[in-house]
Amino acid sequence: MDAASLTSRADTAQPPVAAQDHPRYSAAMPHSVGVLASLMGLIAVSAAILFFPATQPSHQAPGPFWVGFLIGVPAGLLICVRLGFRWALMASVIYCTVGLALDLSTLVQMLTKDDPTAAMLAASGLSGLLNFLVIAFGGRAFLDVSQEPPPPGSHPPSPPFPA
């Protein structure tokens, strides 16, 4: 082997510049498209639940806490996932686990105690489905660690020392 082939071989084994020694950035998150689409849908459904009075019989203006929790947090997570922050995938999974629990409890309460409207049942059901999709896609994307290529083969043994 000559020196030129060794340098060209070393150049091809290097990871992309964006993935080198940067603890917050993940260069390739191949399964994040489902998370992004589900978070966008979740923001749209949450905005519909909060701001369209036709979905709730006794509609009140939403407080800033609910607007921040139902729209601001998913929007922030969406931006962070899009920027490639790996921790944002797990934060999305945790957020949507809480959201799914709230959606399921809302559905059970509407079916057992209240007189549910079709719009509220559909909105809570769709929100629950989107929360579940974020959990599924986000967990998959977070756990899918890209495999680096294996190291090159072993070097041939050194020639014997001439005596």
37-92 confidence digits (pLDDT tens)? 999 999 998 888 887 765 555 667 778 888 888 899 999 999 999 998 889 999 99
Give 138's Cβ-side CA count (13 Å radius).
30
The pTM score is 0.68
Residue 21, pLDDT > 70, answer: no
* Residues 15 and 148: beta-carbon distance below 8 Å: yes
Give the domain ranges of the chain: 30-53+60-143
Q: How many percent of the chain have pLDDT more than 90?
A: 31
Token duo for residue 123: 């909105």
* Residues 112 and 70: beta-carbon distance below 8 Å: no
**pLDDT, position 19:** 46
CA distance 155 to 99: 55
